[in-house]
Amino acid sequence: MDPKAARPAQAQGREPLILSPEEAPRIWAESYDAQPNPLVALELRVSAAVLGPLDGRRALDVACGTGLWLAGARSSGAFAFGVDRSPEMLAHAAARAVLGGALVRGDACRLPLCDAAFDLARSAFCAGYVEDADALVAELARVVRPGGLVWLSDLHPEASRRGWKRGFRRGGTSYEIAALAHTASDLERAGRRAGLALEAIVEPHLGEPERELFRQAGKESSFEPARAIPALLALRWKRP
């Protein structure tokens, strides 16, 4: 997810191709891990600090994509499992040896999993692709045991308002993914309806660790303006 991905094509007079959330993974999966992604890097960095050690915990990653977080969680000693609706993304996740048997295809709003099965359920960069945020949060809450944690993160609505786009490039073509911008109030309300207790709202800005990724993508001049606003909106809840 590149907040500036669509701009070069627009500057050359070519509008990005708009993809639905269902279409995008089929094109993106093959190159997803190879492209510098400062927002994913920021999310991984912030969630690691907020969620704490994973060793011995049963963890679920909803909309796990190519399994980047899952691989790290398993290497840290977690019993980590992933769900994604994209067979293309799951195929790339399955290529990671550490994730053998840990992946399930399914809808984030209708998880094919038992109640109270996990100590932690997380979902990153999924909410904007879901119209019914209540259903997503309710499912995350359902699969977590009492006392367990739910973590939900996405592109900050202020970043969306400022024109950041969810997009990527492949083969010289720029793509933009259609998405919604759920507010903190929307997600707080979804958590209350799911019976969750809100513990923290985190609104991190891009930091120095992400500057190098901007440089690798040839966008270092965009870094300072980008870091001036919150890049992510994340909420941590506990299930009572």
**Going by DSSP bridges, is the β-strand pair 197-202/232-238 parallel, antiparallel, or unpaired?**
antiparallel
Q: What percent of the chain has pLDDT over 90?
A: 90
The pLDDT assigned to 4 comes to 41
Angle, vertex CA 206, rays to CA 9 and CA 220, nearest 5: 45
Place of tokens 């400062």: 38
The pLDDT assigned to 207 comes to 98
Query: 68-75 and 38-51 helices cross at what angle (nearest 10)?
Result: 40
**Going by DSSP bridges, is the β-strand pair 197-202/167-170 parallel, antiparallel, or unpaired?**
unpaired
Q: Which of 8-17, 24-33, 55-64, 174-183 has the lowest mean pLDDT?
A: 8-17
The rounded distance, in Å, linking the Cα atoms of 49 and 203 is 13
Angle, vertex CA 79, rays to CA 93 and CA 232, nearest 5: 65
The pLDDT assigned to 3 comes to 42
The token pair at 51 is 């969620």
The pLDDT assigned to 88 comes to 98
Q: Which of 9-13, 23-27, 78-82 has the lowest mean pLDDT?
A: 9-13
Place of tokens 């907020």: 50
Q: What superfamily in CATH does domain 7-238 come from?
A: Vaccinia Virus protein VP39 (3.40.50.150)
Distance from CA of residue 135 to its chain's centroid? 17
Residue 125 clears pLDDT 70, i.e. is over it: yes
The pLDDT assigned to 33 comes to 94
CA dihedral 217, 218, 224, 226 (to 10 degrees): -50
The pLDDT assigned to 14 comes to 77
The pLDDT assigned to 6 comes to 33
For residue range 93-124, what is the model confidence (pLDDT) as tens digits? Answer: 999 989 988 999 999 999 999 999 999 999 99
Average pLDDT of 40-60?
Answer: 97
Q: Average per-residue pLDDT in the chain? A: 94
The pLDDT assigned to 116 comes to 99
Average pLDDT of 126-142?
Answer: 98
pLDDT band at 73 (very low <50, low <70, confident <90, very high): very high
pLDDT band at 7 (very low <50, low <70, confident <90, very high): very low
Long-range Cβ contacts of 87-95 (<8 Å, 24+ apart): 88/25, 88/26, 88/29, 88/30, 89/25, 89/29, 89/32, 89/64, 89/65, 90/64, 91/29, 92/29, 92/30, 92/32, 92/33, 92/66, 92/67, 93/64, 93/65, 93/66, 93/67, 94/67
CA distances from 125 to 65, 74, 180 (A): 10, 20, 11
Q: Is 118 helix (H, G, I), strand (E, B) or coil?
A: strand
For residue range 159-189, what is the model confidence (pLDDT) as tens digits? Answer: 999 999 999 999 889 999 999 999 999 999 9
CA distances from 121 to 21, 53, 138, 153 (A): 21, 14, 11, 12
The pLDDT assigned to 101 comes to 86
Q: Is 184 helix (H, G, I), strand (E, B) or coil?
A: helix
* 56 neighbors 78 (Cβ within 8 angstroms): yes
